[in-house]
Every structure is written in structure tokens, then in C-alpha cells.
Amino acid sequence: MEPSSDIAFTPSVKAFQSARGSRESYARIEQRGGFRTAITADLAEFIAGIDTAYLATATAEGQPYAQHRGGPPGFIQVLDDHTLGFADFTGNRQYLTTGNLAENDKAFLFLMDYAHRRRIKLWGRAQVVTDDTLVERLMPAGYPARPEQAILFTVIAWDINCPQHIPRKLDAGDVATATAALEARIAALEAENAALRARFERPDRKD
């Protein structure tokens, strides 16, 4: 049986790995069966915390297209050991992803966690679903967007990228919360300092 990593390590890729000295390390991965193929508890936890993903599809002729997908943390949901789903919000209505999946269901998800410098790549097949019940189930509660359809992603293989060269970016909401807490603490300390200064500067103060 071919290792699951062959979905990425094609003969051409392996030839370059051999020529440039990395084939041996990746061959060891293949000996263990390749990449992981089922959604683990760790992967599910990671997915529940991210708010940014990139979905890549291609035309029938192989012309690639990548599109950002975002929402509140957990907008991508784990439906079973091999299936992810998310509501597809109304956007600029070009329907490039929708059209590509109609003729070529091969897809790729790139999941990013900039704050912790983590990224996960998933190979699979995707489909557009317009069932209202599923769309409603996948729609994040209270999120101000209009869902137009849902996308189901069947995971074939997934792997973790190293954090090298990932710039650390913090979410604006997290920064605002931390800043508000610091400002409140500073205000409290300033008030305490003012009270102490007033106490020690009273004309009738006796040491």
C-alpha cells in the first residue's frame, strides 16, 4: 500500500528530495505509513481555536486558486473522524471555489495560528452543499454574516508544518483586551499613588 504522504510526495518531488539530500528523512515518514489520515483530538482542538484558513482548489485543467476563509474561532467544525465543515458566507460572488469544486473536487486546506506560530496542512476532497439544515448547523452563532452554502471537506491526509519563518501576529481583539486590562491597572495604581501622595502632603500631618 502506498503511504498517505504520496499525495504530496510525487515521483517528481521525491526526485528533488533525493537530489538535494532530504529524501532519507522523508522515507522514514513513509515507512511509518506517511501522514496522518484521521482527525485526532489534538487536530480537533487546534481547529476549534483558529479563525483563519486558506482553501485551495483547481479547475479541471489544474489551474489553482486559493481563497481566504475566516470567521470566529471554531468556524470550521469537525463533523466526524474524516470530515470538516463550515458555512460559506456571501462574498464578492465570483464563485471561483464553487465552480472549481463542481468540476474538480480535489482541495487543500491550510490552517494558520499566527499567535502561536503553528500551521497545519490538509489534503482532501471538498463539496458544496446547499442543504439549509446543514448550513444552519454550521453557521457560527451570533456571527454577522449571511451564509450562502456550506462546504464539506473530507480529509485524506494531514501534516504539521514547522514554525520556521512564521511571523507572530496577534489578534486585534486579544490585544485590545490585554491593553484594556493594563490601562485599568495603571488607572488603579495612579489613583492609589495620588491618595498616598495626598496623605503624606497634608499640612496637618504629624510624623
CB 135 within 8 A of CB 146: no
Cell of 101: 469544486
CB 107 within 8 A of CB 124: yes
Exposed, middle or buried: residue 200 (CB in 10 Å: 0-12, 13-18, 19+)? exposed
pTM across the whole model: 0.82
- pLDDT of 113 higher than 90: no
- How large a percentage of the chain has pLDDT more than 90? 74
Q: 91 falls in which pLDDT band (50, 70, 90)?
A: confident
Exposed, middle or buried: residue 198 (CB in 10 Å: 0-12, 13-18, 19+)? exposed
